[in-house]
Structure 1
């Protein structure tokens, strides 16, 4: 039985995908597969790599005649997945195949669970770091049900959002049952992914369609950010504009929602908001009372900046957009404060259920190496069932 299909869409970043696959295949588990959707200009590197592995757990979808948009490359993956559950990660990320054990235990306890998510951990590859990076890793190990009404508030009303919705349930660094994915496809225009921001497209649809969502506090994957990744644009405005230009050129659909005057170039909050608003407009979903939460997230995007010039530029950009969108009254809710203090040492240690540590710990050079270090510090996955039995 194939319990899990780990999907990796990639475009011209073959070496990163190879590193992730190589480490995953070191697992002795036989209940998962890795499915790579290659959208690169040169098909040979990944084809040769997969052939060399001589391992039936890895399969390759080769490039098509012309490069696909991001959502079209993602669209190929669930169609070909053999697993009961499906998860997608980036080529510079890493996912622990021991997720299979967490899914097995969850399914025994909650037979109708169809969406599973876990704690977040992040790794900036050495080639993308400009200075010392202190990262936060959740250390809890509680397994919990999250009610749909609460997830709706987090996703569509921006409740508890810092700079983006605090809702982790979707196919990207989450796992969805294949049956749920097919219901999503049938309900939304016969496609799994429609928007050029497919991870948040997936979260919108998952929150609407999932029956039972389970969250485990313990991280099971690493969000990677290499120099060539789209997330690198969050750190460099010029890179961000370049990435957005590329997405526009390669996308076969709309990026922006109508009558929503927030330039994508403003930052992550504007980008995610366009995806959410596009989804609501496309499917006739009308909601009131979400605006204040979104405006606070805009302020959060500004306050995440550690450069005063970038903070001021973001603040001015969001302020102009908010004024055009909802007027002077709404602008009174937008009060970002520049909080970065270069003279204050960055905290390292344990606080409020999180471990703060130097991302260069152990001299990890890849997302997989970094996860291996974290894995040795966190609650062992194989003990989950016994822990629940004792509860």
Structure 2
């Protein structure tokens, strides 16, 4: 039985996808497959790579006659997947095939679980990390049932949000049962993914449709950020504008919700806000009382900046949008402060259930190499069954 399909959509970043695949195929597990959806201009590199590997666990969807938008490239993967569960990662990310073991144990303990996710870990590839950086990983190993009511608050009411909703359930760096994905498709316009911000499109729909959401504190994947990634745009505003221009060209508009005057160019909070408003408008979902949480997240987006000029520009942009959106009275809830202190060393060590350490540890050069380092630090996946034994 194929328990898990790991989906990797890629466009003109074949070398990154190949690195992730090589490391995943080193696993001795036979209950997973890797499905690469190639959207590149040149089909040859990945086609040759897959042929050379000659591994039945690896399959390729070749490029179509013309380049697809990101959500359209994602859209074609579930229908070709053989796994009971599906997960999508970026080509510069990494996912441990031992996720299969976590899914097996979870399914035994919670048979109706249909959405599963795990703790977050992040790796900035050395090519876009000129200076020393501190990363942070959770060190717990509890399996936790997340109540749907609480997830709705976190997602749609921005409860506990810093600069984006604190709700990790979706297909991107999460795992959804194929049966749940098909219900999502049937409920929402006969598509798995609609909005160009496909990962948050997925989270919205997962929170609405999932029956049982299980969270494991231990990281099982790495969010990578290479020089060609959209994530790199969060670190460099000029790169961000270039990436956004590309997305607009692929979608001929369709990014913004109506009557939501927050330019997407402002940052991650504005971008996610448009995705969620678009989703609610499209499906007639009316909610009240979420505005304050969103405004606080706008402040959090400002406070994440380590450059005073960028901070002030974001602050002014969000303030103008908030005033136009909800009036001057709403600005009383918007109080960002510039917090970056280059003279104060960043904390390293264990605190609040997280380990903070130098991202350059072990001289890892790729997301897969970085995960291998983390894997040696954290609770062994293979012991999950015995830990939960009655």
With normalisation by structure 2, the TM-score equals: 0.99
SS at match of 1:72: helix
Note the alpha carbon deviations across 1:278-331, whole angstroms, 9 max, x for none.
000000000000000000000000001111011001000100000010010101
Deviation at 1:253, TM superposition (A): 5.8
Indicate the residue corresponding to 1:273 in structure 2: 273
Deviation at 1:248, TM superposition (A): 0.4
CA distance in 2, matches of 1:269, 1:130: 26
Indicate the residue corresponding to 1:353 in structure 2: 353
CA distance in 1, matches of 2:346, 2:301: 19
Indicate the residue corresponding to 2:251 in structure 1: 251
CA distance in 2, matches of 1:101, 1:26: 16
Indicate the residue corresponding to 2:226 in structure 1: 226
Note the alpha carbon deviations across 1:6-44, whole angstroms, 9 max, x for none.
000000000000000000000000000000000000000
Q: Are 1:30 and 2:30 an aligned pair?
A: yes
Is the contact made by 1:70 and 1:251 (CA closer than 8 Å) also made in structure 2?
no
Indicate the residue corresponding to 2:167 in structure 1: 167
CA distance in 1, matches of 2:307, 2:131: 13
Indicate the residue corresponding to 2:333 in structure 1: 333
Indicate the residue corresponding to 2:100 in structure 1: 100
Q: Are 1:305 and 2:305 an aligned pair?
A: yes
CA distance in 2, matches of 1:30, 1:75: 25
Deviation at 1:165, TM superposition (A): 0.2
Is the contact made by 1:69 and 1:252 (CA closer than 8 Å) also made in structure 2?
no
Q: Are 1:140 and 2:145 an aligned pair?
A: no
Is the contact made by 1:195 and 1:253 (CA closer than 8 Å) also made in structure 2?
no
Q: Deviation above 2 Å: which 4+ runs of structure 1?
A: none
- For 1:363-378, what aligned pairs fall within 5 Å after superposition? 363-378=363-378
CA distance in 2, matches of 1:332, 1:214: 37
Deviation at 1:251, TM superposition (A): 1.8
Deviation at 1:130, TM superposition (A): 2.9
Indicate the residue corresponding to 1:66 in structure 2: 66
Deviation at 1:336, TM superposition (A): 0.2
CA distance in 2, matches of 1:329, 1:344: 35
CA distance in 1, matches of 2:359, 2:79: 36
Deviation at 1:252, TM superposition (A): 5.5
CA distance in 2, matches of 1:102, 1:33: 16
With normalisation by structure 1, the TM-score equals: 0.99
What number of residue pairs does the alignment pair up? 390
Is the contact made by 1:133 and 1:360 (CA closer than 8 Å) also made in structure 2?
yes
Indicate the residue corresponding to 1:129 in structure 2: 129
Is the contact made by 1:261 and 1:321 (CA closer than 8 Å) also made in structure 2?
yes
CA distance in 2, matches of 1:66, 1:85: 29
- For 1:229-240, what aligned pairs fall within 5 Å after superposition? 229-240=229-240
Indicate the residue corresponding to 2:342 in structure 1: 342
Indicate the residue corresponding to 2:200 in structure 1: 200
SS at match of 1:140: coil
Note the alpha carbon deviations across 1:174-209, whole angstroms, 9 max, x for none.
000000000000000000000000000000000000
Indicate the residue corresponding to 1:216 in structure 2: 216
CA distance in 1, matches of 2:338, 2:288: 30
**RMSD (CA atoms):** 0.6
CA distance in 2, matches of 1:206, 1:297: 22
Gaps in structure 2 of 5+ consecutive residues: none
SS at match of 2:150: helix
Indicate the residue corresponding to 2:19 in structure 1: 19
SS at match of 2:377: coil
Is the contact made by 1:151 and 1:207 (CA closer than 8 Å) also made in structure 2?
yes
Deviation at 1:131, TM superposition (A): 1.4
